[in-house]
């Protein structure tokens, strides 16, 4: 009986060692503008400091995988037209300094194909691990200033953090 027990234990050990395969690390595929790209939770204020928008801003790569340009989209388009904080356009980016900007960019807010409206974005910056989300998670910070030709003379400031996915954030 002892031999059957020893053989069973030996068989289980051999089976355990044989079933342990090791795999190499998988390569993570990033977009061409990593680490700028992503979804951010931002608060937009006007020049008086009044909050006009609190929701999401997204930075994404272009279809040609450019490393010097990216898409920035913020705000929503309503039936009554684009809000002052609604911008959607292809801006310039610098991955080495994690900055972005653009002057007289065609504003495609509302997902239109063309537009005569423009926006200018300045002082765009992402700071890696520069913010703490409400959940306590350390994440990337984002900030930028912009104007919208539909609302001349008004300047808006967006400040926020990279969306973490936690419900508190």
pLDDT, tens digit, for every residue of 31-69?
Answer: 899 999 999 999 999 999 999 888 899 999 999 999 999
E runs forming strands in the chain: 38-45, 51-61, 69-74, 77-78, 81-82, 87-94, 99-106, 118-132, 138-148, 155-162
Return the SS3 of 33: coil
Give the Cα separation of 78 and 127 in Å (integer).
Answer: 31
Residue linked to tokens 């936690």: 166
Give the Cα separation of 66 and 92 in Å (integer).
Answer: 10
Give the Cα separation of 88 and 153 in Å (integer).
Answer: 19
Q: Does pLDDT of 118 surpass 70?
A: yes
As given in the structure block, the two tokens for residue 120 are 């200018």
Q: Does pLDDT of 28 surpass 80?
A: no
Q: Does pLDDT of 12 surpass 90?
A: no
Q: Does pLDDT of 15 surpass 70?
A: no
Pairing of strands 69-74, 51-61: antiparallel
Residues with Cβ < 8 Å from 87, sequence gap 6 or more?
Answer: 72, 73, 74, 75, 105, 107, 109, 119, 121, 146, 148
Q: Are 36 and 60 in contact (CB under 8 A)?
A: no
Which pLDDT does position 127 carry in this prediction? Answer: 98
Kindly list the domain boundaries of the chain, sorted by start residue.
38-162
- Average confidence score pLDDT of the chain: 87
Lowest mean pLDDT among 19-23, 52-56, 102-106, 122-126: 19-23
Give the Cα separation of 152 and 102 in Å (integer).
Answer: 17
Q: Check: CATH 2.40.128.220 for 38-162?
A: yes
Give the Cα separation of 86 and 73 in Å (integer).
Answer: 8
Residues with Cβ < 8 Å from 112, sequence gap 6 or more?
Answer: none
Give the Cα separation of 74 and 24 in Å (integer).
Answer: 39
């Amino acid at each position: 009986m002892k031999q059957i027990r020893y053989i069973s234990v030996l068989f289980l050990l051999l089976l355990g060692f044989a079933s342990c395969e090791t795999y190499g690390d998988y390569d993570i595929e990033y977009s061409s503008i990593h680490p700028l790209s992503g979804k951010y939770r931002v608060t937009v204020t006007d020049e008086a400091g009044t909050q006009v928008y609190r929701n999401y801003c997204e930075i994404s790569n272009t279809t040609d995988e450019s490393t010097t340009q990216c898409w920035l989209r913020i705000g929503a388009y309503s039936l009554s037209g684009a809000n002052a904080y609604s911008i959607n356009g292809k801006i310039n980016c610098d991955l080495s300094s994690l900055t972005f900007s653009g002057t007289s960019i065609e504003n495609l807010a509302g997902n239109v194909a063309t537009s005569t409206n423009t926006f200018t974005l300045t002082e765009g910056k992402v700071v890696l691990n520069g913010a703490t989300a409400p959940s306590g998670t350390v994440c990337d910070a984002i900030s930028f200033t912009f104007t919208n030709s539909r609302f001349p003379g008004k300047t808006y400031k967006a400040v926020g953090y990279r969306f973490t996915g936690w419900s508190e954030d």
